[in-house]
Structure 1
Amino acid sequence: DTRSKGKVIERNQNGFALRMVGVNIDITAMKKTESDLRLAAVVFEEGEAVVITDKDGTIIRVNPAFTRTTGYSAAEAIGRKASLLKSGRHDEQFYKEFWDTLLTRGRWQGEIWNKRKNGDIYPEWETITALRGAYGEITHFIACFIDITERKEAEARVNYLAHYDELTGLYNRTLFHEQLSKALTRAKRIACSGALIFLDIDRFKSVNDTYGHTVGNELLTQVAKLLIQNIRTEDTAARLCGDEFIILLENLDRDKDEAILAVNKLALKISNAFIKPIALKQHEILISASMGICVFQSYPSTANDLIKQADMALYSAKHKGRNSIQLFEPGMEETALQRIEIESGLRFALLNKEFELFFQPQINIADGKIIGAESLLRWKHPQKGFISPAKFIPVAEDSGLILPLGAWVLESCCKQIRNWEKNGLFQGLKTLSVNISAIQFNQANFVGTVLEMIDATEINPKHLEIEITEGALITHVEETRYKLEALKKAGIRIAIDDFGTGYSSLAYLKRFPIDVLKIDQSFIRDISTDSNDAVIIKTIIGMAKNLGLYVIAEGVETEAQLEFLNDEGCAAY
């Protein structure tokens, strides 16, 4: 860019210019300077907060962003020392290093905490530059800064979620693992004992299914509070996942027996805290908890090893009937390995068709004729032979394999019914009974699956009897009644298996469309020698007959048992 200036110094007689004189000036640098100044003005007015001080730190100019960030207007800030923003959070060493860097290098950049006019302390990311004169002396300081409160909060949030459970505020698995590793180091150093309590809420899934996940989360939050209220201040509680909690106890007695007594005492205290219903916003829910305990001392162990041991003890507690406390024992590791082996074997067994069905006859007591049959599932292992259902059914239920296994049993029974129908066997037989796991029954599509199998195999539905346990009745009551009514409407017979071992009563059974009541064999076994069992059976048979239920006794083995049942009016065995 150029700027031109000139004049005429000679003209002719007609007035036309003959000679001119002038100059051209290059104004490129000036134009750039003007542009830079305009840009600087925009940045100063609309960019980061800026404060300019003299060499002594007295404020001589601020921009609007400074006012928005600190709360001080230009009139309030100019003429005062920049130290009016000091928060008091930094020590002398911080400021010594700050000034050393700024004066020697001419620039300092970093995070600093300052204070607003209203007293709020906040974090800044700040860059301070020292301006020097012609002789190298410092004449001014320019500070540019931004409020990083939101960034710090986001970082804190990320850090919190990395170490704490968002729902309950307890430690999460990662932070608990770190604390346990440190506790192990301390225990080895000072030769003391410690312990883990692995806790699981009994039937928590039923709470979620009945009330919804919002109520379930509210319950978990209250359980966390209850744990904190009952453990010692030096103990550590964490939520690992779902409804699983774990507690770390440190500085227990060096004597292992004393340490076991101490941790058992705390576990009982926690268990007793669940006796009262837990009050939620719209519900009161009564729950129980199972606990597995692992005690550790100064021997070499890893955090993972101890958590696994506590988990094994918890598994044992839950299989003892829930609402129980179990101390880890070395034999549990062998049991856990067996469970893993059985689960793996079950998967192969389903693929390789290693399961078989046997049919146990049901006999009319009055005339001794076979009136039906109950299907019994057996696993024929290629190397180990027949494996007891008592061993593999619990593993199948825990692993979820009970669903494909139960579907195979149901389908196989329907095919067997079809075969018997074709061969005319149902002229004397009434039904073939199939045991249904509570997990299988609680599937949303259970009724539809049964009806589809009946249609696919083209059997008469009245020849199929579905057996469920008492436990299946007391969870999801309305849903259970709906399913049973749908099955009953389709013509399927409904039986309650192992009656007397659960929580229901005969009066409770009136709420459901039940046809058959099967008395558990534990009552039958001792009727000749135990008067209490005899009275219980008499009562069950009498009330069942009044309700119009067909009664079958399980596990009849002697003539004396059969005679007693016949005298009391039991229909079959």
Structure 2
Amino acid sequence: MSAGPAMVELRLLERVWPRRGDLLSSISVELSRALTSGHCAKDVADALVEQLMTLLPAVGVSVTTGTAGTPAMLATSDATVAGLETLQAGLAEGPGPQARRCGHTVVAVLGDGVTFPRFAPAAADAGIRSVVAVPLAVEGVALGVLTLYLDDQHRLPARFVPTLELVAELGAGHLRTALDRQDAVTQIALLRHRALHDPLTGLANRPLFEELLATAVARDRRSQRSTAVLFVDLDDFTAVNDLFGHTFGDRVLQAVAERLSAVLRPGDTLARLGEDEFVILCESLNAPAQAGLVAERAAAALDEPLHVQNRWIRVSGSVGVAETLSGTAPTSLLRAVDPPMHQAEAVGGRHQVSDGRTVLAADHLTRLEIDLRSARRRGELELLYQPIVRVPDRTMVGVEALLRWQHPTFGLVMPDVLVPVAERSDQIGRLGEWVLDEACRTAAGWQRRYGCADTPWLSVNVSAVQVACPTFSGTVARVIGETCVDPARLHLEITESVLLADDAAARENLQRTKALGVRLSLDDFGTGYASLAYLQRYPFDVLKVDRRFLRGVCGARRPDRAIVSSVIELAHTLDMTVISEGVETDEQFDQLAELGSDLAQGYLLSQPVPADTIERWLDSCGPGERVALPSRLAQ
């Protein structure tokens, strides 16, 4: 029995257009393989395009994603098809855009002059005579469009459209799975980034920095190179927030991050550890000087004013540098930058490098806190005295008592390390009381031996914690009574942090202390931002100009000279005596004399010396004479 016409047509069709089951089976296997091996939507789309080009008589195939307004090519069979997809997107015309808009299959036979008149000529030039666009959707949610491009010889039979729609459904399911995986991977990466980066500046945060530090130390140990950590602390940044608001402060921190990023070497890492604390990781160093150069650039970068929200602001910073030694743990290295950073603050914002002893001391801060409790009993604490001279004749009129701790293991522990240790361990109150008592007993002995008129007055530093204590003025009164020191010749130095806190209890404490006859000095003036607003609220007699302003009074930094001049003039208007501290050169001294500074203090005149050295100088003077300090005093 011969086959009828319908059977012959079906057999011819199957030779060109495969059976539904065979087509779906082949495509399903390849899409699953692509999903397993590639994990991304692009791999799935590429596999779908390749299978359709292999199994169907199509001239070209494309898979696009996105909505009608924002289509995106995911995979195309060749550049010609990619060009036709781009043209349709630009014209917002063609089978693909229409399928997106209407949400169902579009079969377009081109060349009649009516169907897609702007798109059809370009398609005809590429040999395309018909196009079939099938939406890709999962549970009614559109993902994109699958498009077949056909020539004159192979037009899509109407009976094959349902099969192609099943292929589109199968492809959409695999694409949805791949896209979901991509979203999950992206979300995980985003969450990891957020967990390891500072949200304000985008810099690495502490966990990421510690991870990178550990890796760098291990790698450099194997390669016989060194790693350095640079800790950058912005000076009195809290005052920026207090004066201008936190939004402005955030913009300043972002500007600082950009400024510091610009000084890094390739491969260095900048991180933000706290509100105003930045840290730089320098790895694979061939010489210690390399870290010092980065520190110099960082300090110089912070010296330049920042332009933030139409306002110029100067935010200075101190830089501490710590380098690895043999056997140094990464956590020790990170802690080791704290002492040199405080030393940098003490010398006016310059950077300081820690040595091996400092690294070891930083690794045993807990031990320092414990040892400090018995340091006085073991005789490890010592007071030195730095002269304060009258500018016109360089004669000594006062001394500042400075605490030193000679630790049996770590050697000399400077106040910049000692004071934070005392504050963290709640020992600052007892330590400060001992310093006041010891210094007053020494000064009282000088006054009895040489007479009050011929002995220098005494200046003692007190911390903000002491001033805030309700018993502070009572403690001062007791020490004066027990030591018999002349209260008129006792100066108590308080830092600007007391003013910035503007604590009513502290202000009342200072008023009661002032009533004892004691003179009050405002130390480190110029490092805060709100000082001028509070000067008249506190009963200060002396104003000490911070050392970092003195660095520019002689050179090209004319703004620093103008600041010092204005501060001196302001203090004199308020009947305050001015002490310029940190004087290191004759040129600085001469400029301060020209600007009208009353008193000066610094290494140019004398380093801190023991009490018996002061006594030797006093012994060399006759009645009514004062010690005259040469520009370079041999100690």
Matching of residues 233-272 of structure 1 within 5 Å: 233-253=266-286, 259-272=287-300
Measure, in 2, the Cα distance between the counterparts of 1:154 and 1:468: 56
Alignment pair present for 1:495 and 2:541 = yes
Alignment pair present for 1:306 and 2:333 = yes
The 1:206–1:283 alpha-carbon spacing in structure 2 relative to 1, beyond 3 Å, is: same
Measure, in 1, the Cα distance between the counterparts of 2:414 and 2:527: 28
The 1:500–1:242 alpha-carbon spacing in structure 2 relative to 1, beyond 3 Å, is: closer
The 1:473–1:272 alpha-carbon spacing in structure 2 relative to 1, beyond 3 Å, is: closer
Q: Which runs of 5+ in 1 are unaligned?
A: 1-53, 59-85, 100-111, 129-138, 254-258, 353-357, 361-372, 489-493, 545-553, 568-573
Shift of 1:167: 0.9
* 2:300 counterpart SS class: helix
Measure, in 2, the Cα distance between the counterparts of 1:301 and 1:193: 11
Give the structure 1 partner of residue 147 of structure 2.
none
1:557 to 618, 631, 635: 618
1:174-231 CA distance string (max 9 Å, x none) = 2222223333343345444443333222333343333333222212211221222222
Give the structure 1 partner of residue 391 of structure 2.
none
Shift of 1:166: 0.8
Name the aligned partner's letter for residue 42 of structure 2. Answer: H
Give the structure 2 partner of residue 217 of structure 1.
250
* 2:271 counterpart SS class: strand
Q: Is the 8 A contact 1:375 1:435 kept in 2?
A: no
Give the structure 1 partner of residue 559 of structure 2.
none
* 2:282 counterpart SS class: strand
TM-score normalised to the size of structure 2? 0.49
* 1:265 counterpart SS class: helix
Give the structure 1 partner of residue 466 of structure 2.
405
Alignment pair present for 1:435 and 2:492 = yes
Q: Is the 8 A contact 2:233 2:318 kept in 1?
A: yes
Shift of 1:332: 0.7
Give the structure 2 partner of residue 7 of structure 1.
none
Greater relative contact order (Cα < 8 A, sep 6+): 2
Give the structure 2 partner of residue 323 of structure 1.
349
Shift of 1:410: 2.8
Shift of 1:250: 3.5
Shift of 1:157: 3.9
TM-score normalised to the size of structure 1? 0.53
Q: Is the 8 A contact 1:375 1:433 kept in 2?
A: no
Matching of residues 99-498 of structure 1 within 5 Å: 115-117=66-68, 118-120=70-72, 155-253=188-286, 259-296=287-324, 301-319=328-346, 321-336=347-362, 340-341=366-367, 343-344=369-370, 392-393=418-419, 395-396=421-422, 401=428, 402-406=463-467, 407=469, 408-414=471-477, 431=488, 433=490, 435-438=492-495, 441-442=498-499, 444-451=501-508, 462-472=515-525, 475-476=528-529, 479-488=530-539, 494-496=540-542
Measure, in 2, the Cα distance between the counterparts of 1:328 and 1:389: 15
Q: Is the 8 A contact 1:414 1:464 kept in 2?
A: no
Q: Is the 8 A contact 2:269 2:281 kept in 1?
A: yes
* 2:288 counterpart SS class: helix
The 1:520–1:536 alpha-carbon spacing in structure 2 relative to 1, beyond 3 Å, is: closer
Measure, in 2, the Cα distance between the counterparts of 1:125 and 1:466: 83
1:25-70 CA distance string (max 9 Å, x none) = xxxxxxxxxxxxxxxxxxxxxxxxxxxxx75889xxxxxxxxxxxx
Shift of 1:330: 0.9
* 1:437 counterpart SS class: strand
The 1:220–1:113 alpha-carbon spacing in structure 2 relative to 1, beyond 3 Å, is: farther
Measure, in 2, the Cα distance between the counterparts of 1:301 and 1:269: 26
Alignment pair present for 1:517 and 2:577 = yes
Matching of residues 30-45 of structure 1 within 5 Å: none
Measure, in 2, the Cα distance between the counterparts of 1:309 and 1:411: 38
1:311-370 CA distance string (max 9 Å, x none) = 444344334x142223331111354478655545678999x9xxxxx9x9xxxxxxxxxx
Alignment pair present for 1:90 and 2:90 = no
Shift of 1:262: 2.7
Measure, in 2, the Cα distance between the counterparts of 1:281 and 1:160: 28
Measure, in 2, the Cα distance between the counterparts of 1:127 and 1:158: 29
1:451-474 CA distance string (max 9 Å, x none) = 36867xxx9x64443422342366
| Matched pairs, number | 406
* 1:175 counterpart SS class: helix
Q: Percent identity?
A: 20
* 1:168 counterpart SS class: coil
Name the aligned partner's letter for residue 191 of structure 2. Answer: V
Q: Give the greater-gyration-radius structure (CA).
A: 1
2:567 to 508, 523, 529: 508
The 1:302–1:280 alpha-carbon spacing in structure 2 relative to 1, beyond 3 Å, is: same
Name the aligned partner's letter for residue 293 of structure 2. Answer: K
Q: Is the 8 A contact 1:87 1:115 kept in 2?
A: no
Q: Report which of the two has the higher share of strand.
A: 1
Name the aligned partner's letter for residue 341 of structure 2. Answer: L
Q: Is the 8 A contact 2:318 2:345 kept in 1?
A: yes
The 1:251–1:534 alpha-carbon spacing in structure 2 relative to 1, beyond 3 Å, is: closer
Q: Is the 8 A contact 1:470 1:502 kept in 2?
A: no
Q: Is the 8 A contact 1:202 1:322 kept in 2?
A: no
The 1:375–1:222 alpha-carbon spacing in structure 2 relative to 1, beyond 3 Å, is: closer
* 2:570 counterpart SS class: coil
Q: Is the 8 A contact 1:317 1:326 kept in 2?
A: yes
Q: Is the 8 A contact 1:171 1:239 kept in 2?
A: yes
Q: Is the 8 A contact 1:193 1:252 kept in 2?
A: yes
Q: Which runs of 5+ in 2 are unaligned?
A: 1-19, 25-37, 52-62, 75-135, 141-164, 378-382, 386-397, 429-462, 550-562, 601-610, 629-635
Q: Is the 8 A contact 2:333 2:359 kept in 1?
A: no
Measure, in 2, the Cα distance between the counterparts of 1:195 and 1:389: 24
Measure, in 2, the Cα distance between the counterparts of 1:500 and 1:163: 38
Q: Is the 8 A contact 1:196 1:249 kept in 2?
A: yes
Superposed CA RMSD in Å reads: 5.8
Name the aligned partner's letter for residue 306 of structure 1. Answer: L
* 1:471 counterpart SS class: strand
Shift of 1:289: 3.1
Measure, in 1, the Cα distance between the counterparts of 2:43 and 2:404: 74
The 1:347–1:215 alpha-carbon spacing in structure 2 relative to 1, beyond 3 Å, is: farther
Name the aligned partner's letter for residue 495 of structure 1. Answer: D
Name the aligned partner's letter for residue 517 of structure 1. Answer: T
The 1:392–1:307 alpha-carbon spacing in structure 2 relative to 1, beyond 3 Å, is: closer
Q: Is the 8 A contact 2:197 2:204 kept in 1?
A: yes
Measure, in 1, the Cα distance between the counterparts of 2:343 and 2:404: 24
